[in-house]
Amino acid sequence: MSQQYLTSQSGAPISDDQNSLSAGERGPVLLQDWHLIEKLAHFNRERIPERVVHAKGTGVYGKFTLTKDLSEYTLADHFNEVGKETETFVRFSTVGGEMGSADAERDPRGFGLRFYTARGNHDIVGNNTPTFFLRDGIKFPDFIHTQKRNPQTNLKDPQAMWDFWAANPEAMHQITILMSDRGIPANYRQMHGYGSHTYSFWNAKGERYWVKFHFKSQQGVVNLTNEQADKLKGIDPDSSQRDIVVAIKDGNFPKWTVNVQIMPEAEANTYHINPFDLTKVWPHADYPLIEIGELELNRLPENYFAEVEQVALAPSNLVPGVGASPDKMLQARLFAYADAQRYRIGANYNQLPVNCPHATKANHHQRGGAMAGTQCPYHGGQTGGDATANYGPNTKEPLVESVDLKEPPLRLDGEADRYSRYNQNDYEQAGNLYRIFDEGEKQRLVETIAATLSQVTPEIQSQMVEHFTKADADYGLRVKTALEIN
């Protein structure tokens, strides 16, 4: 192996990395020690803001193999041609904790998947649950404030959490999932993933379908009890991260079977559930799972900061053949992620190796901004240089628009307004879920709810008992009894 020499950031060989330059053996340090200054200055800049949610996480590369051709529904490159392999990256996370928080918390898990497709990056930034607490993004900042720390005490705040939920019964379904035996995944390998939202597919004929993504763990699903989780948080706060790092290093590559539910566009108008309401699932009896492929994770990043901390997964990273839907939460997310990433990482975050397209070139007219000019190490692309124009259209080196890949028009009607509670049924699916739990699961669910709900004011407790009762009379009665209230 050839010798590697220590250098400065600009490549100059360093003769001494252990002793500062000083005026005399016992004298003060000299300002001209630019090597010392470079080290200290870089150290001071080694952090970027952590993600405002999902701050603690871990990432792994892998591949998606298509087992069912979906050209009938979508012209997306990675969903056409059986056997096609597409490089992927997945970042798993918890939601509410900070970067150093424990993995074994009762909290949803993030399941953020990127496909590096031949037509650009397609991200499905989902969770381990098929639903969410809310159906309108305007409530998201308030909700997250109640999940994070109290602005005065800097402590987690059960009063704020239940106060918010009491006023937002659309959260009942997700509360029931979170507080149940499904609420603390043992690790990231043994849990399912869901796109959660309704997205759209469109095909070469211009026909649109609504679609939901499901990733079923081939490792099975394992969750922890409260007692197991409390112990594990003390023994190994990084338990889920360690589990997946060890598995990949051992060649024990985790896999998920990828499924979709598909609804023809027109059926959305008549289906008894609003298909764009993120607090609801589509029952499989109505829209069965269609198996389309396999996701395998098999390669750890080389540099955690560069690849995991700086990965910029975004629901707005869509490719021809896959689109959004009118889901109000998704609509808010289409704005929120790229905006967060411009702030968190910088204007040119898409030029970083983990974020630039790996299977195609990015060619556009945007230049300038902090750190501009990086060539994607995979395929280059026009992100700088004198030879290319920074405006379009141009005659110098015209970039052609892909008119044949245009999304079909979406028919809309109705009056612009702020529609509250556009689907009133906040309780049915929460009650259905409660009713499929066995006796032990029901007991543990109620104990977990009571342990935290007992810490809040009687008024909020009563409001929550009302909500649980509306979901299922027995559910409400048991929570009330556990809280010892009249």
Amino acid at 394: N
The count of residues interacting with ligand HEM (CB under 6 A) is 27
Q: Choose the binding region for ligand HEM from 23-31, 33-41, 221-229, 333-341 (rule: CB under 6 A).
A: 333-341
Q: Of 62, 110, 193, 431, which lies in the binding site for ligand HEM, with binding defined by CB under 6 A?
A: 110
Between 339 and 459, CB nearer to ligand HEM: 339
Chain position carrying tokens 């969410």:
132
Q: Of 35, 56, 57, 352, which lies in the binding site for ligand HEM, with binding defined by CB under 6 A?
A: 57
The residue among 120, 197, 194, 168 whose CA lies nearest residue 355 is 120
Decide if residue 174 touches ligand HEM (CB under 6 A): no
Return all residues near 480 (Cβ < 8 A) that are at least 6 apart. Answer: 465, 468, 469
* Dist. CA 268–CA 361, nearest whole Å: 36
Q: How far is the CB of 315 from ligand HEM (least distance, A)?
A: 8
Q: Of 156, 216, 344, 442, which lies in the binding site for ligand HEM, with binding defined by CB under 6 A?
A: 344
Tell me whether residue 127 is one of the annotated catalytic residues: yes
Between 196 and 469, CB nearer to ligand HEM: 196
Please tell me which residue in 121, 127, 187, 203 is annotated as part of the active site.
127
What Rg value do the Cα atoms of the chain yield, rounded? 25
Amino acid at 275: P
Identify whether the C-beta of residue 264 lies closer than 8 Å to the C-beta of residue 209: yes
Tell me whether residue 121 is one of the annotated catalytic residues: no
The token duo for 136 is 């309108």
The token duo for 154 is 């800097």
Chain position carrying tokens 């048991």:
478
Cβ burial of 65 (10 Å; 0-12, 13-18, 19+) is middle
Q: How far is the CB of 50 from ligand HEM (least distance, A)?
A: 8
Between 35 and 106, CB nearer to ligand HEM: 106
Decide if residue 140 touches ligand HEM (CB under 6 A): yes
Residues 386-415 as x/- pattern, contact with ligand HEM by CB under 6 A: ------------------------------
DSSP conformational letter for 306: I
Beta bridge partners of 164: none
* Dist. CA 271–CA 287, nearest whole Å: 11
Between 137 and 237, CB nearer to ligand HEM: 137
* Dist. CA 378–CA 357, nearest whole Å: 8
Decide if residue 336 touches ligand HEM (CB under 6 A): yes
Decide if residue 282 touches ligand HEM (CB under 6 A): no
Q: Measured between alpha carbons, how far is residue 311 from residues 67, 80, 301, 337 in Å? A: 28, 26, 11, 11
Residues 295-314 as x/- pattern, contact with ligand HEM by CB under 6 A: ----------------xxx-
* Dist. CA 341–CA 319, nearest whole Å: 19
Between 203 and 341, CB nearer to ligand HEM: 341
Q: How far is the CB of 54 from ligand HEM (least distance, A)?
A: 3
349 is in an annotated binding site: no
Between 96 and 320, CB nearer to ligand HEM: 96
CA 329 centroid distance within chain: 13
Decide if residue 130 touches ligand HEM (CB under 6 A): no
Q: Which residues are annotated as a binding site for heme?
A: 337
The site for ligand HEM (CB under 6 A) is made up of 51-54, 57, 91, 93, 110, 112, 125-127, 132, 137, 140, 196, 311-313, 329, 332-333, 336-337, 340-341, 344
Residues with a known catalytic role: 54, 127
